[in-house]
């Protein structure tokens, strides 16, 4: 990747490529890296904005092993290991930091369910603990004076800096045979009986036999251009950030009930937070709303009254690319030969993408599908699933535990969240 | 050689101002009740009120409008409050932030001497070895970060919350200065229903019938054409046929080294200090400005001379090369006919009005840059490239001196009202106007562009040279435009620094709401549920 190719100054695209990756976010960049690590060359990344301009640059980069089901915990642990090694692998610091992670619980039956989940974590070697209400306030005094807590599950999970991850990949790819064309839109996909033939962009045509759809919230649009039907939809999520404060919140916090919200302090000291709108409509939409500010202020000051004196300086929105089962879509597509997917992250792209694209590259180069990739393969959906109704609730799916009958979760009783 | 109060006279805020006592960083001071905290500290010769985030550079009172954030300190337990917005009361306790042992004498101020070797991306390839210390490195970094203290625990009383009310109006005027008032009058005279928002509590009234004035109410957002505003007890969501932005202008800090030193202040603040608060800001001030900005400086000069000060200048901004002094202004380097000389001054008063683009950028209206100033693209009645947004007065880059300014704003208000009553929003201006015309003055490498994040001109250019020339990437890699001033004081400098080294046809990086920093508690809707009162919100 040459220096200028990151910017918009490249006016034409290469005419041929071995692999074209559409989307210069975490999935596209990580996949390019994993391909070059396996000796592949002539890779072109087409990015509609600037690298990381979609969800990659809009999330808060929590890298959490502590999940609600055993399958997910195993994958997430491998993903976190990947991040822990990333500094050495890429030669750049991505600010991997074990801030700690806490689910705050407000109802007694939530606490009961969590006993089994913590036991499952312990079995898998994930360090988590169930805290009493007193211990919760001792560890997170920000909740003092707020809605009474019933307890918390605390783990030693981590955050990274999302932009630092993008820079790490860009700096790494700069010395390899990868061209990133920014500010460029894909206008069409040429394909015939034997699969993909070319990607058409507003800067020219790139002939290729392999395309990766790593377009995040836009992956649905891109699939339609290729005539491929997949069930993932875009769902807006909003974030606000405060001015920097001295370290005072020693965990990334999430609560599910009675409404879903989260906050944490960055390494610089800003507090990022958000309250989820359970009725958020599906749409490719990145505009901010006033209702989000009100909703978040109401929820946070009720649970953590000390936060009422922090100052909001900025808000933004990004998109979750959500699938019906809330598992990512990663792998080749039977519907169109040469059309590969790395999308449908359902809000977990930062966590999952570096590791799963590593497996995907293995799959592409060797033709063998690694076992851990199986749950994420695109062909678990038939084209007819593309019209399946979808739950707006991110956690609803985990009510159907895949490994442990006990591993039910807080979100499963949210009244307006039908399990698909 | 220090600010001093004039003897009590009829020029003071009131004939017998009530004296109150307050503390700042443990020391007790005298002040005038109701006067802004930052002004009282300035009058008491406490010039350093805060330290910059990255390099702990001393900062003090500069704009007195709540925009720059240089006067942020902890006030009565509340973190990072803009002290120019805090009316002084007896027993008030203020503390400096982000400094040790105090903001006045901050040991970390030495970091600034190493600024050249600590680029914004300093950590990218560092702190990875030895592996065992990675967490420790970040703990140290984390310790350097932060700013205000969040007082956790012991909070009990809940904020009452604000009632959400919606308003449908023909013409909404944002800003109650001369241009806003004139536009509101013009619109009302045409028979339109007009509402006017003024963030200051003591905003002036409007005589015209049909103008609904909301004082102490600040517009904080433009969400798809709906303007939101926060008042003392109300959250407003306002739908208007036309929004007239009369948000005025602010003074751009000179693009030279040392421009952020305590004692570098805007012309309007200088005038306000003398005329409203009876404070002489300095004995030997240097006045900097040219062109249309000279009107302000002429008034400042006259007021300073009347108060016994000995001003130097005005000199044109291009002649100012550097401002000297570490903890306060002690001098300046001025170019004079190709030669540079040092002048000994204790205050720098600058005037370089630049439009407030908050609503313009939030609405996505086109801007251009001419003669070093970024202005909205408007036609002669203020219509922008966004159909329902009109900009008037100094926010549109119109001259404000004389009677011409208000008359033009009145005509624009009338035209907006006529368009609304005729069932039509104003038409787009010719899009060909919106191609950026970039003419910028040269800026020197070690001058600061972004004051919130201490980003230097050469750091922006270094990002471009390293291949990250997209303005959005430069913004993210340096932090410029993302600080608490929300880009107000760096946007123009950013464009100037990028000019010539990167393509600017991409436009400015996205501005993000809200338009002003807002305390989280002030965003709580009444009832606290977050949804029950949102029926008429966006």
Which residues 52-91 of chain B have a CB within 8 Å of chain A?
Answer: 53, 77-80
- Put simply, the answer to whether B156 touches A302 (Cβ < 8 Å) is no
In the prediction, which pLDDT does A7 show? 40
CA distance B95 to B102: 9
Q: Whose CA is closest to B415, among B169, B175, B170, B209?
A: B170
Closest CA to A269 of B526, B97, B303: B97
Q: Which two tokens stand for residue B170?
A: 């023909």
Cα separations (Å) of A356 from A53, A88, A377, B283? 21, 19, 11, 67
Beta-carbon separation of B150 and A307 below 8 A: yes
What's the pLDDT at B262? Answer: 95
Question: CA A111 → CA A65, A284, A304, A403, distances in Å?
Answer: 19, 36, 20, 20
Give the pLDDT confidence score for residue A397 in this predicted structure: 44
pLDDT at A403: 35
Q: Please give the pLDDT value at position B210.
A: 76
DSSP-derived secondary structure for B287-311: EE--GGGHHHHHHHHHHHHHTT---
B158 contact residues in A (CB cutoff 8 A) = 301-302, 305
- Distance, in Å, from the CA atom of A243 to the CA atom of B147, rounded to the nearest integer, reads 8
For chain B positions 498-537, those within 8 Å of chain A (CB to CB) are 502-503, 506, 512-514, 517-525, 528-531, 533-534, 537
Band of the pLDDT at B411, cuts 50, 70, 90?
confident
Residue A20 sits at φ, ψ, to 5 deg, of -110, 125
What digits encode the pLDDT tens for the residues B103-126? 999 999 999 999 989 999 888 888
Contact B151 A309 (CB under 8 A): yes
Backbone torsion region of residue B130, taken as left when φ is above 0, otherwise alpha when ψ lies between -120 and 50, otherwise beta:
beta
What confidence tens digit (pLDDT) does each residue in A145-198 have? 999 999 999 999 999 999 999 999 999 998 887 999 999 999 999 999 999 999
Question: Which chain A residue's Cα is nearest to B228?
Answer: A290
Name the residue facing A7 among B235, B470, B514 (closest C-beta). Answer: B470
B 253-272: CB under 8 A from A: none
Per the CB < 8 A criterion, the answer to whether A20 and A209 are in contact is no
Rg (CA), chain A: 21
* Angle at CA of residue A308, ends A269 and A155, nearest 5°: 50
Chain B CB contacts of A93 under 8 Å are 123-128
Say if the Cβ atoms of A95 and B476 lie within 8 Å: no
DSSP structural state of residue B485: T
pLDDT one-digit tens code per residue, B460-497: 888 888 888 888 899 999 999 888 888 888 888 888 88
pLDDT band at residue B353 under the 50/70/90 scheme: confident
DSSP3 helix / strand / coil % (chain B, rounded to 5): 25, 25, 50
Q: Residue A89 has which token pair?
A: 């692998």
Would you call B202 exposed, middle or buried from its count of C-beta atoms within 10 A (0-12, 13-18, 19+)? exposed
A244 within 8 A of B145, measured Cβ to Cβ: yes
Chain A residues with beta carbon closer than 8 angstroms to that of B230: none
Contact residues for B249 (Cβ-Cβ < 8 A; gap 6+): B353, B354, B355, B356, B394, B395
Interface of B with A in 148-167 (CB under 8 A): 148-156, 158-159, 161, 164
**Nearest-by-Cβ selection for B156 from A97, A145, A248:** A145
Helix H or strand E encompassing A237:
strand A233-242
Calculate how close chain A gets to B301, using CA atoms only, in Å: 36
Residues of chain A with pLDDT under 70: 1-11, 386-420
Q: Which residue in chain A is spatially nearest to B236 when comparing CA positions?
A: A290
Closest Cα to residue A333, out of A385, A388, A389? Answer: A385
> Does residue B15 have a pLDDT over 70?
no
* Chain B residues with CB-CB distance to A285 below 8 A: none
Q: What is the pLDDT of residues B203-252, one digit of tens each?
A: 666 666 678 889 899 999 999 999 999 999 999 999 999 999 999 998 88
A144–B152 C-beta distance less than 8 A: yes
DSSP A372: G
Residues of A in contact with B78 (CB under 8 A): 309
pLDDT digits (tens, 9 = 90+) for B25-59: 999 999 999 999 999 999 999 999 999 999 999 99
Torsion of the alpha carbons at A71, A74, A80 and A84, rounded to the nearest 10? -170
Among positive and negative, which fits the CA dihedral A301, A306, A308, A313? negative
Residues written for chain B = 538
Spatial distance between the Cα atoms of A129 and A152, rounded to a whole number of angstroms: 8
Residues of A with CB below 8 A from B164's CB? Answer: 294
Contact B529 A182 (CB under 8 A): no
CA–CA separation, A51 and A183 (whole Å): 9
B-chain residue closest to A90, CA distance: B125
| Partner-chain residue, chosen from A50, A244, A310, that has the shortest CB–CB distance to B145 | A244
Q: Which of B218, B467, B485, B511 to mutate to test the interface with A (most CBs of A within 10 A)?
A: B467
pTM score: 0.92
Question: B152 and A87 in contact by Cβ < 8 A?
Answer: no
Please report residues of B whose CB lies closer than 8 A to that of A295.
530-531, 534
Using a CB-CB cut-off of 8 Å, the residues of chain A touching B512 are: 288, 314-316
- For residue A261, give the 3-state DSSP assignment: strand
From the list A3, A306, A308, which residue is nearest B159 (CB)?
A: A308
Please give the Cα distance from B208 to B188 (Å, whole number). Answer: 7
* Closest among A289, A303, A295, A263 to A276, alpha carbons compared: A295
Q: Contact A298/B221, CB-based, under 8 Å?
A: no
SS3 assignment for chain A: CCHHHHCCCCCCCCCECCEEEECCCHHHHHHHHHHHHCCCCCEEEECCCCCCCCHHHCCCCEECCCCCCHHHHHHHHHHHHHHHHHHHHHCCCCCCECCCEEEEECCHHHHHHHHHHHHHHHHHCCCEEEECHHHHHHHCHHHCCCCCCCEEEEECCEECCHHHHHHHHHHHHCCCCEEEECCCCEEEEEEECCEEEEEEECCEEEECCCEEECCHHHHHHHHHHCCCCCCCEEEEEEEEEECCECCCCCCEEEECCCCCEEEEECCCCCEEEEECCCCCCECCCCCCCHHHHHHHHHHHHHHCHHHHHCEEEEEEEEEEEECCCCCCEEEECCCCCCEEEEECCCCCHHHHHHHHHHHHHHHHHHCCCCHHHHHHCHHHCCHHHHHCCCCCCCCHHHHCCCCCCCCCCHHHHCCCCCCC
CB-based contact A307 B520, cutoff 8 Å: yes
Distance from CA of B248 to the nearest CA of A (A): 21
B531, closest residue in chain A (CA to CA): A295
Question: DSSP string covering B310-349, please?
Answer: --EEEE-GGGEEEEE-SSS--EEEEEETTEEEEE--SEEE
Mean pLDDT for all residues in chain B: 86
Helix (H) or strand (E) holding A296: helix A290-303
pLDDT digits (tens, 9 = 90+) for B502-516: 655 545 777 788 999
Helix (H, G, I), strand (E, B) or coil at A143: helix
Nearest residue in chain A measured CA to CA from B363: A287
pLDDT greater than 50 at residue B435: no
At A178, give phi and psi (nearest 5°).
-130, 130
- Which residues in chain A have their CB less than 8 angstroms from residue B148's CB? 243-246
> How far apart are the CA of B70 and the nearest CA of chain A, in angstroms?
13
Query: How many angstroms separate the CA atoms of B28 and B130, rounded?
Result: 48
Q: How does residue B158 score in pLDDT terms, banded at 50, 70 and 90?
A: low
B327 has a chain A CB within 8 A of its CB: no
For residues B239 and B225, give the distance between their C-alpha atoms in angstroms, rounded to a whole number: 7
pLDDT at A121: 96
Structure tokens at B466: 């390293």
Residue A411 pLDDT: 36
CA distance B35 to B270: 15
- Cβ of A294 within 8 Å of Cβ of B164? The answer is yes
Instruction: At B229, list the tokens.
Output: 């505003």
Q: Could you say which of B142, B521, B534 has the minimum Cβ distance to residue A267?
A: B142
- Count of A-B CB contacts under 8 Å: 235
Q: Give me the residues of B, 123-142, that contact A with CB < 8 A.
A: 123-128, 131, 134-135, 138, 141-142
Q: Is the peptide bond before B101 cis (omega within 30 degrees of 0)?
A: yes
Nearest to B125 among A93, A182, A297 (CB): A93
d(C-alpha A111, C-alpha A118), whole Å: 10
Beta bridge partners of A146: none
pLDDT at A414: 33
Asked if A79 and A355 count as a contact pair (C-beta separation under 8 A), the reply is: yes
Q: Are strands A101-105 and A195-201 parallel, antiparallel or unpaired?
A: unpaired
C-alpha span between B413 and B426 (Å, rounded): 11
Contact B392, B183 (CB under 8 A): yes
Report which DSSP code applies to A373. G
CA distance A214 to chain B (A): 20
To test the contact with chain A by mutation, choose from B50, B100, B155, B159 the residue with the greatest count of A C-beta atoms within 10 A, namely: B155
Helix B404-421 and helix B178-189, axial crossing angle in degrees, nearest 10: 40
The proportion of chain B whose per-residue pLDDT surpasses 70, expressed as a percent, equals 87
Percent of chain B with pLDDT over 90: 52
Candidates B146, B237, B520; nearest CB to A290: B237
Peptide bond into A386 cis (omega under 30): no
> Which of A140, A181, A171 has its CA nearest to residue A24?
A181
The closest alpha carbon to B36, from B79, B94, B97, belongs to B94
Asked if B375 and B342 count as a contact pair (C-beta separation under 8 A), the reply is no
pLDDT band at B13 (very low <50, low <70, confident <90, very high): low
A309–B520 C-beta distance less than 8 A? yes
Radius of gyration of chain B (CA): 23
């Amino acid at each position: 990747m040459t220096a200028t190719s990151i910017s918009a100054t490249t006016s034409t695209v290469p005419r041929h490529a071995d692999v074209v990756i559409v989307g210069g976010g975490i999935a596209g960049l990580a996949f390019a890296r994993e391909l070059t690590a396996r000796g592949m060359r002539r890779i072109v990344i087409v990015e509609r904005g600037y690298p990381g301009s979609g969800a990659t640059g809009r999330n808060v980069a929590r890298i959490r092993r502590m999940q609600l089901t055993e399958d997910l915990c195993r994958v997430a642990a491998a993903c976190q290991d990947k991040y822990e090694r990333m500094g050495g692998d890429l030669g750049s610091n991505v600010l991997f930091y074990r801030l700690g992670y806490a689910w705050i619980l407000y109802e007694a039956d939530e606490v009961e369910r969590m006993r089994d989940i913590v036991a499952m974590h312990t079995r898998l070697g994930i360090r988590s603990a169930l805290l009493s209400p007193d211990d919760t306030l001792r560890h997170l005094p920000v909740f003092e004076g707020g809605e009474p807590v019933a307890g918390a599950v605390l783990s030693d999970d981590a955050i990274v800096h999302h932009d630092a991850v993008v820079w790490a990949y860009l700096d790494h790819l700069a010395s390899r045979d990868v061209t990133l064309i920014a500010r460029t839109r894909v206008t069409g996909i040429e394909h015939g009986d034997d699969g993909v033939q070319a990607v058409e962009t507003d800067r020219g045509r790139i002939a290729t036999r392999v395309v990766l759809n790593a377009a995040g919230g836009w992956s649905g649009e891109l699939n339609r251009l290729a005539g491929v039907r997949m069930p993932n939809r875009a769902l807006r999520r909003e974030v606000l950030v405060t001015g920097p404060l001295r370290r005072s919140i020693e965990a990334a916090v999430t609560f599910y009930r009675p409404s879903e919200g989260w906050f944490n302090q960055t390494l610089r000291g800003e507090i990022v937070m958000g309250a989820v709108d359970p009725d958020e409509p599906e749409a490719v939409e990145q505009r901010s709303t006033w209702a989000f500010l009100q909703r978040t202020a109401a929820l946070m000051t009720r649970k953590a009254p000390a936060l009422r004196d922090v100052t909001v300086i900025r808000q933004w929105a990004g998109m979750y690319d959500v699938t019906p089962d809330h598992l990512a879509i990663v792998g080749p597509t039977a519907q169109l030969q040469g059309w590969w997917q790395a999308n449908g992250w359902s809000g977990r792209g930062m966590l999952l993408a570096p590791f799963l694209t590593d497996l995907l590259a293995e799959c592409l180069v060797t033709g063998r599908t690694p076992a851990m990739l199986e749950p994420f393969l695109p062909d678990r959906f038939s084209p007819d699933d593309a019209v399946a109704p979808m739950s707006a609730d991110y956690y609803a799916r985990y009510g159907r535990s895949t490994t442990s009958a006990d591993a039910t979760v807080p979100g499963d009783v949210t009244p307006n969240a039908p399990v698909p | 050689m220090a600010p001093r109060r004039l003897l009590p006279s009829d020029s003071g805020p009131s004939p017998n101002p009530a004296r109150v006592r307050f503390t700042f960083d443990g020391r007790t001071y005298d002040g005038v009740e109701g006067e802004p905290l930052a002004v009282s500290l300035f009058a008491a010769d406490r010039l350093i009120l805060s330290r910059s985030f990255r390099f702990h550079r001393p900062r003090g009172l500069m704009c007195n409008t709540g925009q720059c954030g240089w006067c942020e300190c902890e006030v009565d337990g509340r973190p990072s409050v803009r002290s120019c917005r805090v009316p002084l009361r007896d027993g008030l306790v203020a503390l400096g932030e982000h400094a040790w042992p105090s903001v006045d004498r901050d040991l970390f101020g030495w970091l600034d001497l190493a600024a050249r070797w600590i680029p914004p991306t300093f950590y990218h390839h560092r702190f990875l070895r030895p592996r065992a210390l990675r967490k420790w490195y970040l703990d140290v970094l984390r310790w350097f970060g932060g700013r205000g203290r969040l007082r956790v625990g012991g909070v009990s009383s809940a904020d009452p919350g604000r009632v959400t009310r919606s308003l449908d109006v023909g013409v909404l005027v944002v800003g109650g200065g001369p241009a806003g008032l004139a536009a509101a009058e013009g619109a009302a005279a045409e028979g339109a229903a007009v509402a006017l928002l003024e963030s200051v509590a003591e905003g002036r009234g409007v005589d015209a019938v049909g103008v609904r004035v909301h004082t102490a109410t600040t517009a904080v957002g433009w969400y798809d054409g709906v303007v939101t505003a926060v008042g003392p007890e109300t959250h407003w969501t306002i739908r208007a046929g036309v929004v007239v932005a009369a948000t005025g202008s602010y003074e751009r800090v000179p693009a030279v080294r040392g421009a952020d030193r305590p004692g570098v202040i805007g012309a309007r603040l200088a005038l306000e200090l003398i005329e409203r608060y009876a404070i002489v800001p300095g004995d030997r001030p240097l006045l900097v400005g040219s062109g249309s900005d000279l009107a302000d400086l002429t008034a400042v000069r006259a007021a300073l001379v009347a108060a016994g000060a000995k001003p130097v200048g005005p000199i044109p901004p291009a002649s100012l090369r550097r401002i000297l002094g570490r903890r306060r202004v002690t001098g300046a380097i001025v170019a004079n006919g190709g030669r540079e000389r040092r002048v000994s001054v204790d205050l720098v008063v600058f005037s370089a009005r630049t439009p407030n683009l908050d609503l313009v950028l939030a609405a996505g209206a086109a801007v251009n840059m001419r003669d070093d100033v970024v202005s909205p693209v408007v036609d002669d009645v203020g219509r922008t490239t966004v159909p329902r947004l009109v900009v008037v007065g100094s926010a549109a880059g119109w001259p404000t001196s004389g009677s011409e300014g208000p008359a033009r704003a009145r005509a624009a208000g009338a035209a907006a009202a006529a368009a609304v009553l005729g069932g039509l929003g104003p038409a787009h201006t010719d899009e060909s106007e919106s191609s950026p015309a970039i003419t910028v003055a040269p800026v020197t490498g070690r001058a600061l562009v972004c004051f919130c994040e201490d980003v230097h001109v050469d750091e922006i250019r270094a990002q471009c040279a390293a291949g990250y020339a997209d303005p959005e990437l430069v913004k993210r890699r340096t932090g410029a435009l993302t600080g608490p001033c929300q880009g107000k004081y760096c946007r123009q400098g950013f464009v100037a620094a990028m000019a010539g080294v990167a393509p600017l046809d991409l436009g400015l990086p996205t501005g993000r709401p809200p338009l002003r920093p807002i305390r989280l508690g002030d965003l709580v809707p009444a009832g606290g549920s977050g949804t029950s009162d949102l029926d008429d919100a966006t």
